[in-house]
Amino acid sequence: MKKPVFRGASVAIVTPFKDGRINYDVLKKEIEFQIENSTDSITICGTTGEASVMTDAEHRECIAFAVKQVAGRVPVVAGTGSNDTAYALDLSLFAQEAGADGLLLVTPYYNKTTQRGLVKHFTYIADRVDTPMILYNVPSRTGMSFTCDTYFELSKHPNINGVKEAGGDFSLILNTMARCGDELNIWSGNDDQIVPLLALGAKGIISVASNIIPKQIHEICRLFFEGNVAESAAIQKKYAELIRCLFIEVNPIPVKTAMRLIGFDVGNLRMPLFDMAPANLEILKASLRDVGLIG
């Protein structure tokens, strides 16, 4: 049995920018807001954090800053994945040295690989780091997915702790859980599927919505784990429309916009991401009003 890196809700935290640089004053406020509102973990430099448009120096500095600011109060998961195995290892070793509690590694994108290649890629890294690894399956962005057989092979490695599943394939998740058992922890990567995946045995969520409703996403998990499934599901349903609106344009465009609307000066998105279309902005504002986050 592998102890999960965290249990509950980990925020895939937004990276604030100002004048072309990371705004660490605002990132500090974000982290403190998350911890004050019971988030169970911080995931830094993920998709929502716009890691793909950070320089290597920014990526490393951001991970180190988050670890130092959190100061052991909750686990920190560092995004260190790449489509270049050697670079993914190098970044993972840096995050390990910086003190990250977990490493989040996406499947290789663009060049992709075969299923055998996935086993080789992740095993190569897992053999060379000591920090628990969380695989990241997001085929809508990478153009490839794990199979159940591949998950099973990777689950045998003692340092591969689990997977963030953002593919939405319930059959794959069910069959993987049935086959791998407690040797591969699974977290939802989709905010609209938290309760359904918890019902299958997931350990929680790596969440976009937690940027703006951290307490509520934490409560969905806490209540479910305590056996209050109906209350957990009620929160999931209450915020269903807001969660839908956080994905009406490419993530993290809507959530970063929402952060600004609720009072966090997170700055602009880095191109090629851009401001929301006016019509979609009004839809997002309406969903924030409906749950009382803005006036």
- Give 129-186 pLDDT, tens digit per residue: 999 999 999 999 999 999 999 999 999 999 999 999 999 999 999 999 999 999 999 9
**Closest C-alpha to 104, from 156, 170, 183, 49:** 49
Q: Which residue in 274, 273, 256, 277 sits closest to 265, CA to CA?
A: 256
For residue 135, give Cα distances in angstroms to 82, 125, 138: 12, 11, 10
Domains of the chain: 8-227 (3.20.20.70)
Nearest CA among 206, 70, 218 for reference residue 136: 206
Candidate list 151, 164, 203, 239, residue with the active-site label: 164
Note if 151 is an active site residue: no
Q: Which residues pair with 136 in a beta bridge?
A: 106, 164
pLDDT in tens, 15-40: 999 999 999 999 999 999 999 999 99
Write down the pLDDT at residue 96: 98
Pairwise CA distance, residues 277 & 281, whole Å: 6
pLDDT digits (tens, 9 = 90+) for 39-74: 999 999 999 999 999 999 999 999 999 999 999 999
For residue 1, pLDDT beyond 90: no
Cα 248–chain centre separation:
18
Mean pLDDT, the chain, integer: 97
Residue 276 is encoded by which pair of tokens? 């929301």
Q: Would you mind telling me the total number of residues written for the chain in this entry?
A: 295
Q: Which residues contact 262 (CB under 8 A, 6 or more apart)?
A: 212, 288, 293, 294
Q: What does the alpha-carbon distance between residue 194 and residue 87 come to, in Å, rounded to a whole number?
A: 32
Output the pTM of the full model.
0.96
CA distance 213 to 50: 20
Annotation says 136 is catalytic: yes
Burial grade of 292 (CB within 10 A; 0-12, 13-18, 19 or more): exposed
Nearest to 13 by CA among 266, 275, 223, 193: 266
Give per-residue pLDDT as tens, 224-246.
999 999 999 999 999 999 999 99
Q: Which of 18, 29, 136, 237 is catalytic?
A: 136
